[in-house]
Amino acid sequence: MPRIKGGYLRKIARVDLNRGKFKVESVKHEFAIKYIGGRGWGARILWDEVSVTVDPLSADNKVIVATGPLTGLLIPGAAKTSFNTISPQTGLYGDSNMGGMFGTELKQAGFDALILEKAASNPCYIWIENGMIEVRDARHLWGMGSLDAEIALKKELGDELIRVASIGPAGEKLVKFACVTGDYGRQAGRTGIGAVLGSKKVKAIAVRGDQDIPVADIDALETVFEEAENYLTKHRDLRIWQRQGTMTTVDWSQINAALPTRNFQAATYENYQLINGDSMETRTKIANRACFMCPMACGQYNLVKQGSHQGISVEGPEYETASLLGSNCALPTIEDVVYANHLCDNFGIDTISAGNVAAFAMECFEKGILTKEQVGGLELRFGNSEALFQLLEMIAYRKGIGDLLAEGVKKASQTIGKGSEKFAMQVKGLEISGYDHRAAQAQALAYATCDVGAHHNRAWAITYDIKVGREAYSKDKAEWVIYLQHIRPLFDCLGTCRLQWVELALDPEYYARFYSAATGVPVTLAGLLKASERIYNLTRAISLRRGLTAKDDWLPDRDFEDPVSDGSISAAKLDRNKFRDLLRLYYELRGWDENGIPTREKLGELELGDVSKELEPLRAQK
Ligand code: SF4
């Protein structure tokens, strides 16, 4: 096994929140390389250390905050940090990653990763500075919004350059889709990491560091960086990315009938031009923001310049927010989307789940399944922005119907009943990202099989459906989903952003060159993808061990029963039998058995023999 000479610090800080103590553990070369970093490290630590039966909101759950070997280095978009845990939203393996500057600062403070274990008895924040960690009293911060807490902490510590990751009141109240916010607007949004931090009484992690991150071959890294940077800065689409970021996707989704509208009842929105990138640019945008070392600077800073919420600003919206809080709740203006985004960020709730949950409640209200009395007197109709704003607050503080909705659409629909389960748009308990997939079989498969629930982050496959045909349940689609499920999470392991590859077509071979130059460990892209496959099988195994079955790789009934009949799509819906066949084919191509359990042979090939042994009881049950 080659020795690591850079990129990694090979140091993990284990923080005992109950005792307020920490210790530093060194990471073995083999472990670092085999699981790459970021979500790979987090998954292996969860597999090894967290009990199979752990309650996600108990002190026995852990949160692993892990950078990657490329985080903080001379690499475009080398800004990502993964937050990994057992998700309170799904009960299964969960992770989410955050950009900005937090990860770079954590490495400059001397750590690749943190393991947060047990729970504090009082609200606390974790202060990290150049190799030292303190667990400090945060009772004065408890109750504050995420953004407000970041401002307060920086003021208190007297340094605007401190990097903060914080939770809002929703995390404190254990809202199942509570998120973590860093740098005033970068989120680890999905799978309820904020609720797990809230259960541990961790209000924030604040970090400051000024140490150099070692690099094995700085000349080689500079050479690769210059090539990549040269390519990116000359790309003809760079400027539109800087101007609108992911908001350009609103028009794309509209044209392709993929824009979730009124709780995925329609796939186009008649008012899309009022909430799209052009609207943002002309009405609310005031600045760009970039993560560490990123020329794309896709972050859009917006200000409400008129109306009752004048003066409110936020980093965002990006596409997922505009689609799920915008078209999916039928908001009429970009100002409303910006304000809803601000509320979610400060309350500390994931905008994807929040938009789904609110739209679900609106559909229930319009269908008479929820009465005005049940929703606290709100006229909870699609397009009623003020009702949405109030509902978000009720969810964040678990007031009235907000207490049930804070559990997410799966649990809420099971409690409400009356057929609402059909349009609870979730997979495995995680609300669906912003792409209608009824005429997109690869995207549907990607959602159904995603290891954390329905999340586009693992496989954004709809572009392939559009390219090869939106009616085919073909083998190439299953193969493409598997490829995406390996390459996209690879970026979360390396600690870099994927958008340079996804949107500007930066050759993924660059990442093998970056890794080799940074660490001194020679790799190929194929080798990195093999490691990513290992990690995907490991996260599957974590969830299987916690009770996941093949039945959970499935989609809401709406997808099979209610056709999309607007935009460029007419009467499109998924076919249950064909989709089941596609799922079987996917399992086969993956080397999983008919029950979705990785075979002994597959896990052996991936050097996960120990994991395979633990799955034997599950194989025997089938
Ligand atoms: S493309 Fe956007 S999200 Fe990715 S690193 Fe750049 S600014 Fe951050």
Distance, CA of 462 to CA of 468 (rounded, Å): 10
Q: What is the mean pLDDT of the chain?
A: 97
- The rounded percent of the chain whose pLDDT value lies above 90 is 97
Contacts for 220-225 with beta carbons within 8 Å, 24 or more apart?
A: 220/513, 220/516, 220/517, 221/73, 221/74, 221/75, 221/514, 221/517, 221/518, 222/74, 223/517, 224/510, 224/513, 224/514, 224/517, 225/74, 225/75, 225/76, 225/514
pLDDT digits (tens, 9 = 90+) for 415-424: 999 999 999 9
CB neighbour list of residue 146: distance below 8 Å, 6 or more residues apart:
166, 167, 168, 171, 180, 181, 345, 346, 347, 348
* The ligand 1 atom nearest the CA atom of 499: 1
pLDDT digits (tens, 9 = 90+) for 470-491: 999 999 999 999 999 999 999 9
Question: Is the beta carbon of 290 within 6 A of some atom in ligand 1?
Answer: yes
pLDDT digits (tens, 9 = 90+) for 7-37: 999 999 999 999 999 999 999 999 999 999 9
pLDDT digits (tens, 9 = 90+) for 252-279: 999 999 999 999 999 999 999 999 999 9
- The rounded percent of the chain whose pLDDT value lies above 70 is 100
**pLDDT above 90 (res 2):** no
Query: Taking a C-beta distance cutoff of 8 angstroms, is the pair 290, 296 a contact?
Result: yes
Question: Is the beta carbon of 299 within 6 A of some atom in ligand 1?
Answer: yes
* The ligand 1 atom nearest the CA atom of 295: 6
Q: How confident is the model at residue 578 (pLDDT cuts 50, 70, 90)?
A: very high
**pLDDT above 70 (res 622):** no
Nearest CA among 203, 204, 195, 205 for reference residue 58: 195
pLDDT digits (tens, 9 = 90+) for 551-569: 999 999 999 999 998 878 8
Mean pLDDT throughout 216-228? 98
Burial of 219 (0-12, 13-18, 19+ CB in 10 A): exposed
Distance, CA of 126 to CA of 141 (rounded, Å): 13
Residue with tokens 């995680």: 430
- With the most atoms of ligand 1 within 8 angstroms of its CB, the residue from 101, 104, 293, 296 to mutate is 296
Mean pLDDT throughout 222-238? 97
Question: Is the beta carbon of 100 within 6 A of some atom in ligand 1?
Answer: no
Cα 430 to averaged position of ligand 1 atoms, centre (Å): 24
User: Quick one: pLDDT at residue 145?
Assistant: 98
pLDDT digits (tens, 9 = 90+) for 401-437: 999 999 999 999 999 999 999 999 999 999 999 999 9
Nearest CA among 51, 54, 100, 50 for reference residue 80: 100
Question: Is the beta carbon of 497 within 6 A of some atom in ligand 1?
Answer: yes
Strand partners, 64: 84, 115
* The ligand 1 atom nearest the CA atom of 76: 5
Question: Is the beta carbon of 17 within 6 A of some atom in ligand 1?
Answer: no
Strand partners, 182: 165, 186
* The ligand 1 atom nearest the CA atom of 291: 8
Q: How confident is the model at residue 621 (pLDDT cuts 50, 70, 90)?
A: confident
Question: Is the beta carbon of 296 within 6 A of some atom in ligand 1?
Answer: yes
Cα 295 to averaged position of ligand 1 atoms, centre (Å): 8
